[in-house]
Structure 1
Amino acid sequence: MTTATTFVPTVAEATKAGFFPIRHEVEIVDNRELTDGVYRLTFRDEYIADHAKPAQFVDVYSNDRTRLMPRPFGVAEVNGDEVSLMFAVVGKGTAEFAELKPGDTIRVMGPLGNSFKTKEPANYVLVAGGLGVPPLVRAAQCIADAGNNAKSTAVFGYRNMHFGDDYVGRYADKVYSIDESEGNVITLLDRIEGELRDDELKPVILSCGPLPMMKAVAEWAAKRGIETQLSLEQRMGCGYGTCVLCTVDTTEGRLKVCSDGPVFTRERLGWGE
């Protein structure tokens, strides 16, 4: 009697064969605290670096095998074969990730989900709150790298420390930010509305952040007839459409944020109509 063996392809083998790589081990190259409880984790992975589009996310798995479910983090930045994520410590899993050091390894899978559409000429207004910032940094990077007739304007809201401004400032044409002591992203949108209207490029809003914020952004945009794409933050289980934990109500019925999204238009969500 022989024992069956399971063939587990490497990332390179999976890519060459033309199918999506399974979860695999990557090496940590940097991990730093940006502000109290918010970290920027960087690992080396050629496949994710080559394929990650703005708003796509990566499942990160705990090294403690009793914690079965991964944590989904939006890709924040890509440099060569290095991929950066930003996350907040909210429980034991993320606390574990905060302790990772260069040379350590972690298992990941991705990139997952759909992405923002940024190919048409436009002034992409990147509206983010809190940990909605990372996908918008990646959006600004991709818009700048594309080199077409498009630009980006970052509009970021924070609880206190403006941890994402320096990163998005590498790519965005303009950066506006605010914290709770001054107002919110709607405060900023009201301030720059005239500037957006006077620009020769039409504004297109890309947004990610807390649900109340995004609904307010969708309503603001709907009143002005501005195209809006929203990347939803939702509690997930698997991250690829099997567990049906991350459903959201849409005009087409209930859809999965991980596989049908995370990006939806405001019309598809029925927000601000």
Structure 2
Amino acid sequence: MPTTAFSHTVEDAVSNGRTPTRRTVDVVDVRELTPGVVRLTFRDEFIAANVQPAQFVNLYSSNPQHLMPRPFGVSDVDGDRVSLIFAVVGYGTDEFAHLKAGDHVDVLGPLGRPFDLSRAADYLLVGGGLGIPPLLEAAQALAARDDCRAIAVLGYRDAHFADVYAARYADEVHSIDESEGNVLTLLERLWPDMQAEGRETIILSCGPTPMMKAVAEWASRRGVDAQLSMEQRMGCGYGTCVACTIDTRDGREKVCEAGPVFTAHQLGWDNK
């Protein structure tokens, strides 16, 4: 489904395979998972039916002076309900955090290039902090298959706010906070048993850039393919403003359009 060609209505989108334009949806739940981290759920049949792991949606402020949307990775889908998990870091996210069931918000999406889950393999879902939500959606997609395993490897600063959601879908959940170590600590613990099983392993990762670089280098040394969902700051979210460019082996690319998912090789993080 093209993500930068938009249809005027959801009905048009369903018929021609394009993304519907900005539209107003109903908020059905907003809850604080831990101080400063919120899970927001809204109804949108099109996003729920079409979003793929690591794709994102734009939410728009109701304040006409705040023109640029905020991009959020989808964390999971339940029927026509779409959930997002985000940190409250500014006026936009603060506005969304104060929405209530019955309120409305404007959305656009799904947008971006998703994870490639086409291979039968053990998928290590390696996330840090607010990079974890797209991996929850990946775990949900993998849970529907019988030729894959999803093993969540999650790192937190302190509160383990997403473990309960990961456990709904992942075959295993391993988490750690800064007082104990980091995601590489967990990967080192898990790797001997995974090697012994002899199955193909693929890493999907999202989180702070230094963490993802370290994970990509760890994977490269072990011959493991890694896909990274980049968290570049975006403006429009669909390739017009050129605010989210990133260096790749093929030159500068727009994360919202060519990504957010890139392979470690595309980014030059695989030491090859």
TM-score above 0.5, yes or no:
yes
What is the count of residue pairs matched by the alignment? 265
- State the match for 1:259 in structure 2: 257
The residue that corresponds to 1:272 in the other structure is 270
Deviation at 1:198, TM superposition (A): 1.6
Contact 2:19 2:110 in 1 (8 A): no
Residue in structure 2 matched with residue 138 of structure 1 by the alignment: 137
Q: How many angstroms apart in 2 are the aligned matches of 1:119 and 1:91?
A: 37
C-alpha displacement of 1:17: 4.3
Give the whole-Å Cα distance in 1 for the aligned partners of 2:142 and 2:17: 27
Structure 2 residue runs of 5 or longer lacking an equivalent are 1-6
1:205 equivalent in alignment to 2:211: no
Equivalent residue, structure 2, for 1:217? 215
In structure 2, the partner of 1:127 is: 126
Deviations, residues 6-32 of structure 1 (Å, cap 9, x unaligned): xx9332243234432001000000000
Displacement of 1:184 in angstroms is 0.4
Partner of 2:100: 101
**1:25-79 deviations in whole A, cap 9, x for unaligned?**
0000000000010000000000000001000000010011110000000000000
- In the other structure, the counterpart of 1:160 is 158
Query: Does 2:9 match 1:35?
Result: no
Which ranges of 4 or more aligned residues in structure 1 deviate by more than 6 Å? Answer: none
Contact 1:153 1:172 in 2 (8 A): yes
| One-letter code aligned to 1:83 | V
Question: What is aligned with 1:4?
Answer: none
Q: Aligned equivalents of 2:197 and 2:44: distance in 1?
A: 38
Q: TM-score with structure 2 length normalisation?
A: 0.95
The correspondence of residues 1-273 of structure 1 with structure 2, limited to 5 A, is 9-145=8-144, 147-273=145-271
Deviations 1:151-181 (A, max 9, x none): 1100000000001111010111111000010
| Structure-2 separation of matches of 1:163 and 1:31 | 15
Q: How big is each residue's C-alpha offset from its partner over 1:79-118, in whole Å with a ceiling of 9 and x where there is no partner?
A: 0000000110000110000000001000000000011111
Separation in 2 of the partners of 1:18 and 1:123? 31
Counterparts of 2:104 and 2:15 in 1: how far apart (Å)?
A: 24
Q: Which amino acid aligns with 1:258?
A: C
RMSD of aligned Cα (Å): 1.1
2:203 and 2:64 mapped to 1: Cα distance? 40
Distance 2:190 2:126 in 1: 12
State TM-score, norm by structure 1: 0.95
The 8 Å contact of residues 121 and 201 in structure 1, kept in 2 or not, is answered as: no
Provide the residue aligned with 1:5 in structure 2: none
Q: 2: distance between equivalents of 1:128 and 1:43?
A: 24
